[in-house]
Structure 1
Amino acid sequence: MPTETIHSHTPLPANVPVCPVRGSVIYPTMVQHIDASRTLSIEAIEAAMGEHKVILIVSQRDKDIDDPAGTDLYDVGTACTVLRVRKNPDGTVQMLVNAIARARVSNYTKGAYLRGDITPLDTETGDAVELQALVRELNDKFEHLIQGGKFMSPEAVQTIQGKDDPGEIADHIAFNMDFKVEDKQAVLEAARLTDRLRKVLTLLDAEQEVLQVQQKIRQQVKEEIDRNQREYYLREQMKVIQKELQGGDDGETDEAEEFRKKIDALDLKPEVKKEIDREVNRLARMHPDAAEAGVIRTYLTWVTDLPWNTRSEDQLNVQDAANTLDEDHYGLEKVKDRVLEFLAVRRLRQERAERGDINTEDVNKGPILVFTGPPGVGKTSIAQSIAKSLGRKYVRIALGGARDESDIRGHRRTYIGAMPGRIIQGLRAAGTKNPVVLLDEVDKLGSSYQGDPSAALLEVLDPSQNQHFTDHYLGVPFDLSEVMFIATANYPEQIPPALYDRMEVIDFSSYIEQEKLEIAKRYLLPRQITANGLKANQIQITDAALEKLISHYTREAGVRNLEREIGTVARKVARRIASSELKRAKVTDKELERYLGQPRYLPEHEAREDMVGVSTGMFYTPVGGDILFVETSIMPGKGLVLTGQLGDVMKESARAALTYAKTHAERFRIPRERLDDSEIHVHVPAGAIPKEGPSAGGAMVTSMISALTGIPARRDVAMTGEMTLTGRYLPIGGLKEKVLGARRAGIRHIILPKANEGDLRDIPAHLRTSMTFHVCETVDQVLDVAIVGGIAALEGKTEKAPKAPVKPRKAARDSAASA
């Protein structure tokens, strides 16, 4: 085929200026205006006018590039002759060109403008029969597309329909259709005419599919509009009919319309509103007295009463929150610190969200707190204080004994008497979507054939899922992400593991006696005075009376029984005042028995004197700590006898103590026959009370070696710790409660394992200064403090064991001071 040339039939120049264009492609035989505003393009136009008036028009690969290089342009463009150039007042240039040939660029060079080495593209016609078939198919598809609604200017349609040349038909269709630049460029680069026609046919097929989808969507929209208009007219007719049936009373309100107004005011999400509108439409089509109408009416009432978008503003002043917590609760410093940390983090997140640093949704994300501890220590009441300090509504949901999944998720509306679950009920009662919700007694959840409520709580407490919590009764998702959930439990090990994993545990330890005294004076006594109709000047309970009431009439971790006992005293005083027996009463520790009778609990006290075979241990219970005595007697016989309802672990401690004594018998001057021909009886008094735990190892070995050697153990020393056969002294738990119990019993010296030295920080400062703590790593160190005369007396290095308590080692004094 001959090479395409310019009108003068002279070959194209080998190197021509290049004008890059964005978002368009022109084809040979077209006459087009080109608007140039970039310096690169204007310089190329001026260069073309000064040479052969030939310029190459090439499309950019990326239209966002303002200063393209050769790599940013396609390799095939259109050579054009410049017919006219006009400069505008704003500095832009308008150029009229006549496209004459396709050209491939072999090399781009860039100076003030782009130039390119070009080679015209040869055009191959292909098979004549195939070409004729392609032209017919192209014309048919184009006409079908135009008749099907594809918009194109009438002038362009006439131009295309008036063309006879197959290449010009394909070029003009590709130019006037809104194809992608990449597709138009592919048509330009197709050297073979039949390939060019096929590409345009493929693009027309895709355009036809898009047009059909558009028409389908347009028809659906029209039908939806028609249906809505039809429903509107039918609804208006139904209003008129109902008004006539009701006697023409214009004052009668349309129930469905009232629900619609309430729902529109809620600003619901589209998917939620669609579901609720369907229920409203069902209600509107039903007779008011129909049975199902009552069910729908109740459902819509629940929906419209829920706080979908109502929230209370958080009061995120950390200092005000700290003051509120201190006013409402005494002690609980770790719990208060954690709550204030939560508030501080929330405040900083909110400030960052206001600056746009984080998403607003991230402000509400936070841990699920679970308060664990014995009854009566303030778990529930501090949740109320948290809500008060935040300025949020407070909702308490009691989960103790819940055995049905519907307690959490609600019942499906198909059941008679169906209603939402406790979570949705609590939010309705609160009236806001961001209250503080207390899930009380979460460890008391049960399960039955009706489902597992703890499994239903997984979605409620998971921050990544509770944005779309769906109650069975509502049937639509409700956002719980802004709710602050707090759970309480007495026994965290009874919480299902999957649920426990979603929570952050804050442990409430039992109150010490000093804390109970302060709580009684600040909160319990004033509350009971008011509750029993007394005035503050009509009753006075002395501190000594309150201390005796705490130690001799109650034994608990919290203060519930203490408040009951104070209430009993207040009632008896109120009766005496009401009967004019007296005008005011002062209750002292000596008069306490008159109101409450004999003491119910008598705490252990230290022994009267140092005794052989009797050592003092310490034990922990959820209601506080106390001391116990380990007694060992040696008598003729064989074997080891253990009494006092000891558990397996305590029995093992006794056997380990005996083995340690046998191992060190020669060093401690214990005759071998005394070990082999004696029955060693170890007894722990209070035999009706089961005892278990490893922390009696130190007391066991002290008691046993004292009995075997005949050297007494010190009465003013109590010990806690686990021993090994090799003589190591291992750590234990509950040190704070044990020390408090020992101090109550009059003990002044405490032996504890070295690993528990850090726990001394939890012990009140006034106890740390009034007691001496001996930190031990080995059983020898324990015996050195616990046995009168120490290791020297056991090894026979002193003639007579001293009776006075030995001074604590320097390390022990240092550890107590550092604690």
Structure 2
Amino acid sequence: MLLQNRFVDYESIFESETDLFPLICKGNIEEKILNYKVKVTETIEIIEILSVRNVVLFPGVVIPITAGRKKSIKLLKDAYSADNPIGVLTQKDLNIENPQEKDLYYIGTVAKILKLLKMPDGTTTVILQGQSRFKVTKMIQIEPSFKAEIIYLKDEKPDKEDKEYLALIDSIKEISIKLVHENHNLPSESSFAISNIESQSFLINFVASNLNLEIKEKQILLEYDFVKQRAIETFRFLTLEHQQMILKNEIKSRVKKEMDQQQKEYFLNQQIKAIKEELGDLSYEKEIEEMKVKSYKKNWSKETQKQFEKELRKFQRTNPQMPEYTVLRNYLEFMLDLPWQTYSKDSFDLKRAHQILEKDHFGLEKVKERIIEYLSVIKLKGDLRSPIICFYGPPGVGKTSLGKSIASALNRKYVRISLGGLNDEAEIRGHRKTYIGAMPGRILQSIKKAGTSNPVFVLDEIDKLGMGNQGNPASAMLEVLDPEQNKEFYDNFMEMGYDLSKVIFIATANSLYPIHMALLDRMEVIDMTGYTVEEKIEISKKHLIPKQLKENGLTSKDIILGVKQIEKIIENYTRESGVRSLEKKISKIVRYAAKNLAMKKKYLKRINLAKIEEVLGPPQEPEKYEVYKIPGIVTGLAWTIGGGEIIYIESTLLKGKGNFSITGNVGNVMKESATIALKYIKAHHQEFGINEKMFEMYNLHIHVPEGAVPKDGPSAGITILTSIISSFLKKAIRPYLAMTGEITLRGKIIPVGGIKEKILAAKRANIKEIILSKDNQKDVFAIPKAYRKGIKFNFIRKIIEVINYSF
């Protein structure tokens, strides 16, 4: 019903109509932003509104709509029977079942109901034809159905001679026909229908209605007042859809081609299989099939899977009679056996871990503390880069066995390789598989043996790595022991990276000097010093004796060793920092009991001191200090791989022309210390009260006893200097005094290492006083009081202080 005619004068607030297009994309368009100064006749009517979902109706376009809501079905029936047009508005959200005014777009299309059909499922289907666009000015009724006051919107068409617009229409028609031909899901009659559309605006609406777009985008197209702009946007969406269709067809063609190739390969493989069945050679095929099945179960990356499949294809093409066949087979089997991304779960029971460490090892407090620290951090953080630890100390102190305890405490697998004498880099990195008999390196072989990618890995005797013509193994170890590099450890045999970052590497060494500096820098060095007599007694009672009884088939009732007997074995039959020799002696005594028990002979179960001498033989003289009131003899403290020892430096003067000589199998560093000592004495003879002419009248000879034992190092510097001065002054030094320290030509005493071992050696020898560098004071006080008890320490800085104190 016609209610009112009115003229609306819109203000121009933009410079051109192109500025308006990006703004009129919303459902609610305010009149104030219209960028066009025109006079439009707007017919205001009241009309029934049908809300639809998932469809936008364009003018001129015929579409079917299925109505399921009761109020929608009633509205359609009433309008169809009265032959009244209805307004069609699209819902903003298709999931809303009972939409309100705010849930509808304000611009829609007035439609005529061409046909109304009742479907068997209770829904009603109507055929609608769009007639004209409209805008809701006021919603006057919501229930039982929508009724609104609307105004008709006029499409602003370009000039008939607009060449750009005409070219745009031709392009839309051309691409639409192409889309129909390339999309096999669309009926071929669609192209005939498009080519016969004469109305330009209807062509735009028809194509826009059938585009594969979201509802929002179609609504934007409907809301454009300018037909040319609607055509531009329709062309843009149409072009995108055409490009997507081309891409889909290309992918489909490529997939089809690959499928055809796979079918061809399958057919050929089946033929080969049939031929091999006739020849009775199916073991080869079964082996390959088993490998494929195993590979599907492996938890490896796409790159690893790709590498495996590549090598498997090569293996399939290789003649079993060729030498490469065995290499490829070993490679594939090794790949399948490696525990790719398989990790054992760490145990974070700190009390249990501490109990295991205490049970397996006596002492070693710093080591145990470091392990508990590691467990504590990983428990709190949840993830931690595994540390690389180097246990450094004399033989027999438990470095290697400690690795087993750490693995047990962490609930991890334990693997160990010995690096002593290793002189081929390929032992670490593996051989290239181009060689016949190629094998992976020991690192990955041990990981395979462990069955997990996070074992506790002990690298035993890392200081004894050799160097041969096949490269330097120590250089290969740099990548293994670098936390920044071992995430992708490259093995020559594998030809790809393997993650070692979760492995706890524990290296052991008796000496740090032979280790490459770059290698040493990558490790956290933990000093494991020698044991005192008291500690050795406890270790014997708690570990060594029970172990030997078990290994020799005895019980604690069959033989009894007391504290005094153990102490005698330690002092008279072993001279070591560790307990390896001690364990051998205990083993010999246990075997004595086992022999008598097996032969049913009577024997002394409670071993006394006399029986120890009978079983082990005559005792060695203990390493005790000997008092020499002879000038030129001075006691020094030395560090060896076996621990600390006392050494005697002897010097004597002979009539001659001032010549100097040294004997006793000493190294170059020790010879240099003797030369420095003599030169310093000559330069400062007045301070020591030595007549200068004596240097020209006498020859000086220095000797270090036990000439069969090599001796070297700078720590005997002050001992040699004191011995020389003692000879020149013809004065003996104070008894029960030992010294260690390096000297310089400036007269300073600089610090040396191995302090704990040297102090233990001094205690064994009954030394009462020790002279050390002032800078070694911190090392002395870091040692427990029990080790220092009974010894007086004199810390000095200058050589003259040593001389003043020694005589």
TM-score scaled by length of structure 2: 0.70
Assess, with a 3 A threshold, how the Cα gap between structure 1 residues 306 and 142 changes in structure 2: closer, same or farther. Answer: same
Assess, with a 3 A threshold, how the Cα gap between structure 1 residues 303 and 642 changes in structure 2: closer, same or farther. Answer: closer
Q: Which residue identity does 2:135 align to in structure 1?
A: V
Structure 2 residue aligned with 1:348? 380
Assess, with a 3 A threshold, how the Cα gap between structure 1 residues 495 and 684 changes in structure 2: closer, same or farther. Answer: closer
Q: Is the 8 A contact 1:650 1:696 kept in 2?
A: yes
**For residues 613-638 of structure 1, what are the alpha-carbon distances to aligned partners after superposition, in whole Å with 9 as ceiling and x for unaligned?**
43332221121222233344456555
Assess, with a 3 A threshold, how the Cα gap between structure 1 residues 571 and 494 changes in structure 2: closer, same or farther. Answer: same
| Aligned ranges 1:498-513 → 2 under 5 Å | 499-513=519-533
**For residues 652-686 of structure 1, what are the alpha-carbon distances to aligned partners after superposition, in whole Å with 9 as ceiling and x for unaligned?**
44454455555655555544555665555544444
| Alignment equivalent of 2:135, drawn from 64, 77, 82 | 82
Q: Which residue identity does 1:217 align to in structure 2?
A: I
Q: Which residue identity does 2:246 align to in structure 1?
A: Q
Structure 1 residue aligned with 2:371? 339
Q: Which residue identity does 2:719 align to in structure 1?
A: A
| Alignment equivalent of 2:586, drawn from 559, 562, 566 | 566
| Alignment equivalent of 2:178, drawn from 123, 132, 144 | 144
Within the alignment, does 1:614 sit opposite 2:612 as a pair? no
Within the alignment, does 1:318 sit opposite 2:350 as a pair? yes
Structure 2 residue aligned with 1:13? 11
**For residues 340-374 of structure 1, what are the alpha-carbon distances to aligned partners after superposition, in whole Å with 9 as ceiling and x for unaligned?**
22222222222xxxxxxxxxxxx252222233334
| Secondary structure class of the residue paired with 2:649 | strand
Structure 2 residue aligned with 1:69? none
Q: Is the 8 A contact 2:577 2:642 kept in 1?
A: yes
Structure 2 residue aligned with 1:603? 623
Within the alignment, does 1:528 sit opposite 2:562 as a pair? no
Structure 2 residue aligned with 1:211? 245
Assess, with a 3 A threshold, how the Cα gap between structure 1 residues 410 and 679 changes in structure 2: closer, same or farther. Answer: closer
Q: Which residue identity does 1:331 align to in structure 2?
A: G
Equivalent-residue separation in structure 2 for 1:393 and 1:375 (angstroms): 24
**For residues 512-555 of structure 1, what are the alpha-carbon distances to aligned partners after superposition, in whole Å with 9 as ceiling and x for unaligned?**
44433333333223333343444434434444444443344334
Structure 1 residue aligned with 2:569? 549
Equivalent-residue separation in structure 2 for 1:300 and 1:717 (angstroms): 67
Give the CA deviation at 1:689: 4.1
Give the CA deviation at 1:755: 0.9
Assess, with a 3 A threshold, how the Cα gap between structure 1 residues 458 and 635 changes in structure 2: closer, same or farther. Answer: closer
Equivalent-residue separation in structure 1 for 2:314 and 2:668 (angstroms): 69
| Secondary structure class of the residue paired with 2:587 | helix
Structure 2 residue aligned with 1:623? 642
Give the CA deviation at 1:759: 0.9
Assess, with a 3 A threshold, how the Cα gap between structure 1 residues 220 and 89 changes in structure 2: closer, same or farther. Answer: farther
Equivalent-residue separation in structure 1 for 2:272 and 2:320 (angstroms): 13
Within the alignment, does 1:743 sit opposite 2:763 as a pair? yes
Q: Is the 8 A contact 2:177 2:191 kept in 1?
A: no
Equivalent-residue separation in structure 1 for 2:34 and 2:216 (angstroms): 11
TM-score scaled by length of structure 1: 0.69
| Aligned ranges 1:300-699 → 2 under 5 Å | 305-308=337-340, 310-350=342-382, 363=383, 365-403=385-423, 407-408=427-428, 420-445=440-465, 457=477, 460-463=480-483, 466=486, 479-496=499-516, 499-575=519-595, 582-589=602-609, 591-599=611-619, 603-609=623-629, 611-634=630-653, 637-639=656-658, 641-645=660-664, 646-658=666-678, 660-661=680-681, 665-666=685-686, 669-674=689-694, 677-699=697-719
Q: Percent sequence identity over matched residues? A: 36
Equivalent-residue separation in structure 1 for 2:237 and 2:566 (angstroms): 94
Equivalent-residue separation in structure 2 for 1:279 and 1:374 (angstroms): 48
Q: Which moved more, 1:145-154 or 1:430-439?
A: 145-154
Give the CA deviation at 1:287: 11
Equivalent-residue separation in structure 2 for 1:437 and 1:758 (angstroms): 34
Q: Which moved more, 1:592-601 or 1:522-531?
A: 592-601
Assess, with a 3 A threshold, how the Cα gap between structure 1 residues 705 and 517 changes in structure 2: closer, same or farther. Answer: same
Equivalent-residue separation in structure 2 for 1:261 and 1:723 (angstroms): 71
| Secondary structure class of the residue paired with 2:795 | strand
| Aligned ranges 1:217-256 → 2 under 5 Å | 217-224=251-258
| Secondary structure class of the residue paired with 1:639 | coil
| Aligned ranges 1:116-265 → 2 under 5 Å | 136-137=170-171, 139-149=173-183, 162=197, 208-224=242-258, 261-265=293-297
Give the CA deviation at 1:227: 5.8
Equivalent-residue separation in structure 2 for 1:240 and 1:196 (angstroms): 65
Q: Which moved more, 1:294-303 or 1:279-288?
A: 279-288
Give the CA deviation at 1:321: 0.9
Assess, with a 3 A threshold, how the Cα gap between structure 1 residues 517 and 127 changes in structure 2: closer, same or farther. Answer: farther
Q: Which residue identity does 1:607 align to in structure 2?
A: V
| Secondary structure class of the residue paired with 1:627 | strand
Assess, with a 3 A threshold, how the Cα gap between structure 1 residues 750 and 267 changes in structure 2: closer, same or farther. Answer: closer
Q: Which residue identity does 2:10 align to in structure 1?
A: L
Equivalent-residue separation in structure 1 for 2:328 and 2:457 (angstroms): 28
Equivalent-residue separation in structure 1 for 2:515 and 2:686 (angstroms): 52
| Secondary structure class of the residue paired with 2:526 | strand
Q: Is the 8 A contact 1:267 1:309 kept in 2?
A: yes
Give the CA deviation at 1:748: 0.8
Assess, with a 3 A threshold, how the Cα gap between structure 1 residues 255 and 13 changes in structure 2: closer, same or farther. Answer: same
Structure 1 residue aligned with 2:84? none
| Secondary structure class of the residue paired with 2:789 | helix
Q: Is the 8 A contact 1:612 1:713 kept in 2?
A: yes
Assess, with a 3 A threshold, how the Cα gap between structure 1 residues 720 and 640 changes in structure 2: closer, same or farther. Answer: farther
Please list every run of 5 or more consecutive structure 2 residues that lacks an aligned counterpart in the other structure.
15-19, 41-57, 60-87, 94-100, 108-132
Equivalent-residue separation in structure 2 for 1:523 and 1:403 (angstroms): 36
Please list every run of 5 or more consecutive structure 1 residues that lacks an aligned counterpart in the other structure.
1-6, 38-43, 54-79, 103-122, 351-362, 788-819
Structure 1 residue aligned with 2:749? 729
Equivalent-residue separation in structure 2 for 1:447 and 1:705 (angstroms): 44
Give the CA deviation at 1:770: 1.5
Equivalent-residue separation in structure 2 for 1:262 and 1:705 (angstroms): 78
Q: Is the 8 A contact 1:538 1:583 kept in 2?
A: no
Equivalent-residue separation in structure 1 for 2:565 and 2:636 (angstroms): 29
| Secondary structure class of the residue paired with 1:539 | coil
Equivalent-residue separation in structure 2 for 1:348 and 1:241 (angstroms): 62
CA RMSD of superposed structures (Å): 5.6
Assess, with a 3 A threshold, how the Cα gap between structure 1 residues 236 and 601 changes in structure 2: closer, same or farther. Answer: farther
Q: Is the 8 A contact 1:616 1:715 kept in 2?
A: no
